[in-house]
Chains A and B, each alone.
Chain A
Amino acid sequence: MSFNRYILIYRESDAGVDKNENLFDAFMKELGEKDPSNSVQVVDAVMNGKADPDSTLVKIIPDNIYFKCKDPVDAIKIVDDFIIKNNPVKKLEAAANNIQYRIVLRNCGVIDPENINEYIAREGYSALEKVLFDMTPDEVIAEIKKSGLRGRGGAGFPTGNKWAFTQQAVGDVKYVVCNADEGDPGAYMDRSTLEGDPNSIIEAMAIAGYAVGASKGYIYIRAEYPLAIKRLEIAISQATEMGLMGKNIMGSDFSFEIEIRYGAGAFVCGEETALLASLQGERGMPKPRPPFPAVKGLWGKPTVINNVETLANIPVIIIKGSDWFNRIGTEKSKGTKVFAVTGKVKNSGLVEVPMGTTLRDIIFTVSGGIGNNRKFKAVQTGGPSGGVIPEKFLDTPIDYENLVALGSMMGSGGMIVMDEDDCMVDVNKFYLQFSVDESCGKCAPCRLGGRQLLTYLQDIAKGNGDLKDIDKMKRIGNAMQKASLCGLGQTTSNPIQSALKYFYDEYEEHIVHKKCRAGKCLELLTYTINPEKCSRCGICKRVCPASAISGDRESGFAIDNAVCIKCGECYNRCKFDAIDRG
């Protein structure tokens, strides 16, 4: 049985969204009539990102053409015109994101992640076979080193070196740990990879185990990822059943087994030493390095810890070779990077692009730019502790070094896009609150410095700031960067430091003029009624939940700002544009 074509009908990855039965049935029915040879398969596929609520995205493979379907009639048109007659259906075609290049997400949305055979059909486990029978552990490590692959968890440490250190470390037992404790708000690269292609991670872990001399692996995954956990469990059991995991894999001398451990929801457990502590049943707190996990890791044994996305690259590098991989990306950052683009872009979702792609291309070409006729303001890369990057740097090719030079970082790949409706103080405050809540509390600069910065931001947002506060914030931020123990504390002040660099005027406005131009800092807003525009209809008074508006149709209306709770209800409801916000 073989199919010439596949029709992928996409739905959002949330488990709560059911497949589009109507469209699915329409395609099946139409194909049943027009395609008696049964050469086309219809697939219920999961997309990475948010679906357009008005239409369903359909992709035809191998043509690589996307269609937007609004109702079952569109299915008939696609089958009749495109599949049978090979005529283009321009009206329904959706833009393909050509600059994307999928290595990590190669199988996501393409194969059934709960069926190992579909993974195998796409060269799955052939990398493991290749290393087990054609390569020595040293050769595997040399290949990964040569590929230039760097850790995708954020720090960008060369993966091959990490493996080599673990291989060289003395220890009777060694471990491979997959860091799947993805915790950045708005980021779901690892989740999508695990949900869409769990076998690639398992295969990569076994390859790592073979290379470093480990026969046991752990996947440390957030308990909040039930679907990913379920699919990993299915993948591990299917692989074990087929002899691709467990004792004497594929009849070789190499044995490898994987256990899944759940994280309990602490962001800091994504830091490798804290992760290992948590994995051992201890409180997840970072420890000083050295000793590095490669020398003294899980249970004191040499341990290689790789992030999900890093591992997903491994089988491809083994199959296609380091030279192939090496050609993708920039001089120091090889391969691709997956970003979770969220915020004010038209198409939020996962994007996988070669390293060196510009921020502008990601935001404007792939993600469709800013919606609602608003202007781009900034992008925060690297999750809650990355820096904000203004428009003038949008043409910077993305790699580890360039982002750091801009005061931000690669991080695990979160990318939050802001438009002019976003307030820098407000956004800084939001992400700082996250970092402060997630500080493990061990180290003084992070525990207390973060809390201080947050209080200053809260003051500024309320109009209680002082320009002297900025110097204090810089001093605290600097001490946090310099004296915190782990990456969390070292980077917590990044968003503020970069905002003070690129958006100082906004801070100054909040502090000196007590104004928030984006209207996000509620305490700084004042609502007034413009009597010249006011028609005295009285709707503002009726909708005000705080009874802050007084007056009547005779004498006109007025807002008491001491009572006003700045909900904006009057502003939104006034039909005459008579309420001024400032």
Chain B
Amino acid sequence: MTETKMIKAKINDIPVEVPAGTTILDAARKIHVNIPTLCKHPDLNATAGCGICIVKVKGSNKLLRSCCTDISEGMEVTTHDSEIIQVRKTVLELILSNHPDDCLHCGRNTNCELQNLAAHFVIRGVPFHTYKNSLPKDFSTGNIVLVPNKCILCGRCVDVCQNIQNVWALNFVGRGISTRIAPAGDILLADSPCVRCGQCAAHCPTGAIVEYDNTYDVWHALHDKDKYCIVQIAPAVRVAIGEAFGYEPGELLTNKLYAVLKKLGFKTVFDTNFSADVTIIEEATEFVSRFTTGGTLPLITSCCPSWVDFMEKYQIDMIDHFSTCKSPQQMMGALTKTYFAEKEGIDPKKIFMVSIMPCTAKKYEISRTKDMSASGIQDTDAVLTTRELSRMIKQSGIDFKNLPGDDPDHIMGDYSGAGTIFAATGGVMEAAIRTAYHYVTGENLKDVNVEAVRGLKGVKEGVIDIKGTKVKVAVAHGLGNVEYVLNKVKEAKLKGEEPPYHFIEVMACPGGCVGGGGQPYGVTDYLRTERAAGIYKDDVDQEIRCSHDNPMIKKLYQEYLGEPGSKKAHHLLHTHYEPKPVYIK
């Protein structure tokens, strides 16, 4: 390995030593000098659009963008002086001259990077002309809303959509002051290749791309006497919601969530971690069956609705490889309106099933196909993202921080460690390995921790030894990383070779669901790591670490579903996929 060259330079007369290739911006942060930015995001390439992060470099008569200028040996940088601050303020005023002054009814009010900057720079009005856009909002997807009037053209959404997610739904359209962000070809987002992952919204510095807010649908249902409101909480929510209430990232708040949801008026509180355990039972069964009987391999996970949508649009020839298992959200919805309803004697039509998800695509998944109405009516009625729930809690006046914890409703609330790790990239794979090992060998793994599939590396590959049988697995997160894995599969197929993998996990969002498009704003690899650490702690804290050992799961199969993969299980818990070619109507 070649050693990275170290660069010595000075920022504001403070010596700094960083590896070659470090930008001035990052080098400054290292010595706790904060250069303001609007367009640069740590996840993304520098688009160099906003012009806020400019600095002076000795010997250059221009101001340079610190986000995309590498620091070099002996460089002397000034990040703040009266001239730089004046230019930054002017640029900010120019941006605001084209921005609506409607912070009070904006989706990002009090949580907006532009608003913060305007506050820091003491903007008390725009001294220039104003050009307010009057472009229509795009509600077409029902889960992501484009508000082009609020866009500052930082280009983050375009970069994340094209380069991180490889979806290419968003692009710049128009020229000069008419430039805006829109789906390529200026069509509706719903008609575009958008897979609703929401990474655009998660990275947007303003309120130009936000989730479709369903909180009032849920309030409505909660106040409807005829409705029996039930809620489920996805694994990734419990380690992220605390960020909205001043907790450290990754703080595990499962019991507080159960308690707050009951306070909000939900009659029954379930945990998606339980249905994640169900997913593992079905998916491990499917895998072992395919592996031992020569079925289509590799098997590819299907818990992530954005990934499902992506595959139906861009990877049509891989449909046969998809697990037919529904996602945990949909399994929970179907079981609630059948198993639970029957058991409790509740009319399923009266049940209003809400799920709290880290995800914008989950809002799309509930009506994806007829299979999502396995109970005869739509199995899940409404989806709230983590962000929406945190707002609902704030509306309700509940003192979240001082609220004592509570338990879920045990029938579909108790979970194993395998269920909770669904939140992190590699978690579904790890959970499935724990159970598949048991199905093949009749024993549990001595060490259930499968480190090879953990962490933030874009593609993780590993070989699992199931008593001499080698199972090759791959995990990809961030849709842009899928191509590498699938190309290897396709190449092997073309050459008539053994598949390079037997089992593949894909999560659309970088980091998996902990980095989901519906999670609290400001996601970075630091937050992804902290949230995942909270999840792995939850796993370790569980007495039961494997889905098949969860007694409530055993009960579910004994009392209702029969064998894993049974006809009833198939009807309620499995789905099918169809090609959806893009740009063709």
B177, A441: Cβ atoms under 8 Å?
Answer: yes
- Name the A residues within 8 Å of B68 (CB-CB): 288
B128, A476: Cβ atoms under 8 Å?
Answer: yes
A436, B54: Cβ atoms under 8 Å?
Answer: no
B94, A476: Cβ atoms under 8 Å?
Answer: yes
Interface size class of chain A, counting residues whose CB lies under 8 Å from the partner chain: 20 to 34
Q: CB within 8 A of B177: which of A451, A479, A484? A: A451
Given contacts A290-B70, A452-B129, A485-B65, contact A444 B176 (CB under 8 A): no
Cα of A71 to Cα of B69 in the assembled complex, Å: 65
Q: CB within 8 A of A479: which of B47, B91, B152, B171? A: B91
B94, A288: Cβ atoms under 8 Å?
Answer: no
Cα of A340 to Cα of B196 in the assembled complex, Å: 53
A483, B51: Cβ atoms under 8 Å?
Answer: yes
The answer to whether A423 has its CB under 8 Å from any CB of chain B is: no
The answer to whether A455 has its CB under 8 Å from any CB of chain B is: yes
The answer to whether A447 has its CB under 8 Å from any CB of chain B is: yes
A444, B153: Cβ atoms under 8 Å?
Answer: yes
The answer to whether A440 has its CB under 8 Å from any CB of chain B is: yes
The answer to whether B315 has its CB under 8 Å from any CB of chain A is: no
B90, A287: Cβ atoms under 8 Å?
Answer: no
B63, A483: Cβ atoms under 8 Å?
Answer: yes
Q: CB within 8 A of A442: which of B47, B54, B69, B90? A: B47
The answer to whether B179 has its CB under 8 Å from any CB of chain A is: yes
B127, A448: Cβ atoms under 8 Å?
Answer: no
B380 to chain A, nearest CB (A): 39
The answer to whether A445 has its CB under 8 Å from any CB of chain B is: yes
- Name the A residues within 8 Å of B562 (CB-CB): none
Q: Annotate B47-69 by CB proximity to A: 1 below 8 A, 0 otherwise.
A: 11111001000000011010111
The answer to whether B46 has its CB under 8 Å from any CB of chain A is: yes
User: Is chain B's interface secondary structure helix, strand, loop, or mixed overall?
Assistant: loop
A476, B131: Cβ atoms under 8 Å?
Answer: no
- Name the A residues within 8 Å of B268 (CB-CB): none
The answer to whether A303 has its CB under 8 Å from any CB of chain B is: no
CB proximity to B under 8 Å, residues A479-503: 479, 482-485, 490
Q: Annotate B15-44 by CB proximity to A: 1 below 8 A, 0 otherwise.
A: 000000000000000000000000000000
CB proximity to B under 8 Å, residues A438-490: 438-445, 447-452, 455-456, 472, 475-476, 478-479, 482-485, 490
- Name the A residues within 8 Å of B152 (CB-CB): 444
Q: CB within 8 A of B51: which of A266, A436, A475, A485? A: A485
- Name the B residues within 8 Å of A449 (CB-CB): 94
The answer to whether B175 has its CB under 8 Å from any CB of chain A is: yes
- Name the A residues within 8 Å of B86 (CB-CB): 475
B48, A443: Cβ atoms under 8 Å?
Answer: yes
B153, A288: Cβ atoms under 8 Å?
Answer: no
B177, A443: Cβ atoms under 8 Å?
Answer: no
Q: CB within 8 A of B54: which of A437, A456, A478, A483? A: A483
- Name the B residues within 8 Å of A445 (CB-CB): 51, 91, 94
Interface size class of chain B, counting residues whose CB lies under 8 Å from the partner chain: 35 or more
B54, A482: Cβ atoms under 8 Å?
Answer: yes
The answer to whether A178 has its CB under 8 Å from any CB of chain B is: no
Residue of B nearest to A448 (CB): B94
B97, A448: Cβ atoms under 8 Å?
Answer: yes
Cα of A444 to Cα of B49 in the assembled complex, Å: 6
Cα of A441 to Cα of B179 in the assembled complex, Å: 5
B63, A442: Cβ atoms under 8 Å?
Answer: no
The answer to whether A374 has its CB under 8 Å from any CB of chain B is: no
The answer to whether A370 has its CB under 8 Å from any CB of chain B is: no
B113 to chain A, nearest CB (A): 14
CB proximity to B under 8 Å, residues A485-536: 485, 490
The answer to whether B174 has its CB under 8 Å from any CB of chain A is: yes
- A436, A445, A456 interface centre (most CB from chain B within 10 Å): A445
- Name the B residues within 8 Å of A455 (CB-CB): 129
- B51, B62, B98 interface centre (most CB from chain A within 10 Å): B51
- Name the B residues within 8 Å of A476 (CB-CB): 90, 94, 128
Cα of A445 to Cα of B92 in the assembled complex, Å: 9
Q: CB within 8 A of A283: which of B65, B88, B94, B172? A: B172
The answer to whether B471 has its CB under 8 Å from any CB of chain A is: no
A266, B48: Cβ atoms under 8 Å?
Answer: no
- Name the B residues within 8 Å of A8 (CB-CB): none
A443 to chain B, nearest CB (A): 5
A288, B175: Cβ atoms under 8 Å?
Answer: no
The answer to whether A285 has its CB under 8 Å from any CB of chain B is: yes
Given contacts A288-B68, A290-B70, contact A447 B153 (CB under 8 A): yes
A264 to chain B, nearest CB (A): 11
Q: CB within 8 A of A452: which of B54, B97, B176? A: B97
A473 to chain B, nearest CB (A): 10
B177, A442: Cβ atoms under 8 Å?
Answer: no
Cα of A200 to Cα of B63 in the assembled complex, Å: 39
B49, A443: Cβ atoms under 8 Å?
Answer: yes
Q: Annotate B97-126 by CB proximity to A: 1 below 8 A, 0 otherwise.
A: 110000000000000000000000000000
A483, B175: Cβ atoms under 8 Å?
Answer: no
B289 to chain A, nearest CB (A): 45
B87, A451: Cβ atoms under 8 Å?
Answer: no
- Name the A residues within 8 Å of B95 (CB-CB): 444, 448
Q: Annotate B155-192 by CB proximity to A: 1 below 8 A, 0 otherwise.
A: 10000000000000001101111110000000000000
Cα of A451 to Cα of B177 in the assembled complex, Å: 7
B176, A441: Cβ atoms under 8 Å?
Answer: yes
- Name the B residues within 8 Å of A440 (CB-CB): 175-176, 179
B179, A447: Cβ atoms under 8 Å?
Answer: yes
A483, B87: Cβ atoms under 8 Å?
Answer: yes
- A283, A447, A484 interface centre (most CB from chain B within 10 Å): A447
- Name the B residues within 8 Å of A485 (CB-CB): 48-49, 51, 65
- Name the B residues within 8 Å of A451 (CB-CB): 131, 176-177
A451 to chain B, nearest CB (A): 5
- Name the B residues within 8 Å of A436 (CB-CB): 176-177
Residue of A nearest to B65 (CB): A288
Given contacts A452-B128, A485-B65, contact A437 B49 (CB under 8 A): no
- Name the A residues within 8 Å of B91 (CB-CB): 444-445, 479, 483
- Name the A residues within 8 Å of B172 (CB-CB): 283, 285, 441-442
A466 to chain B, nearest CB (A): 12
B175, A266: Cβ atoms under 8 Å?
Answer: yes
B176, A442: Cβ atoms under 8 Å?
Answer: no
A444, B50: Cβ atoms under 8 Å?
Answer: yes
- B65, B86, B179 interface centre (most CB from chain A within 10 Å): B179
A439, B49: Cβ atoms under 8 Å?
Answer: no
B151 to chain A, nearest CB (A): 11
A439, B129: Cβ atoms under 8 Å?
Answer: no
- Name the B residues within 8 Å of A438 (CB-CB): 175-176
Q: CB within 8 A of B87: which of A266, A443, A456, A478? A: A478
A472, B127: Cβ atoms under 8 Å?
Answer: yes
Residue of B nearest to A477 (CB): B90
Q: CB within 8 A of B94: which of A285, A442, A452, A482? A: A452
Q: Annotate A276-293 by CB proximity to B: 1 below 8 A, 0 otherwise.
A: 000000010101101000
B52 to chain A, nearest CB (A): 8
- Name the B residues within 8 Å of A441 (CB-CB): 153, 172, 174-179
Cα of A476 to Cα of B70 in the assembled complex, Å: 27
Cα of A484 to Cα of B67 in the assembled complex, Å: 14
- Name the A residues within 8 Å of B49 (CB-CB): 442-444, 485
Assuming A472-B127, A485-B51, what are 17 further A-B pairs, CB within 8 angstroms?
A288-B46, A437-B175, A442-B49, A442-B155, A442-B172, A443-B48, A444-B49, A444-B51, A448-B94, A449-B94, A450-B176, A451-B177, A452-B129, A478-B90, A483-B63, A483-B87, A485-B48
**A→B interface (CB under 8 Å):** 266, 283, 285, 287-288, 290, 436-445, 447-452, 455-456, 472, 475-476, 478-479, 482-485, 490
> 20 A-B pairs, CB-CB below 8 angstroms?
A283-B171, A290-B70, A439-B176, A441-B175, A442-B48, A444-B51, A444-B91, A445-B51, A447-B179, A449-B94, A450-B176, A472-B127, A475-B90, A478-B87, A479-B87, A483-B54, A483-B88, A483-B91, A485-B49, A485-B51
In the A-B complex, the 5 residue pairs with the smallest Cβ-Cβ separation, listed nearest first, are A441-B179, A288-B68, A483-B51, A479-B90, A448-B94
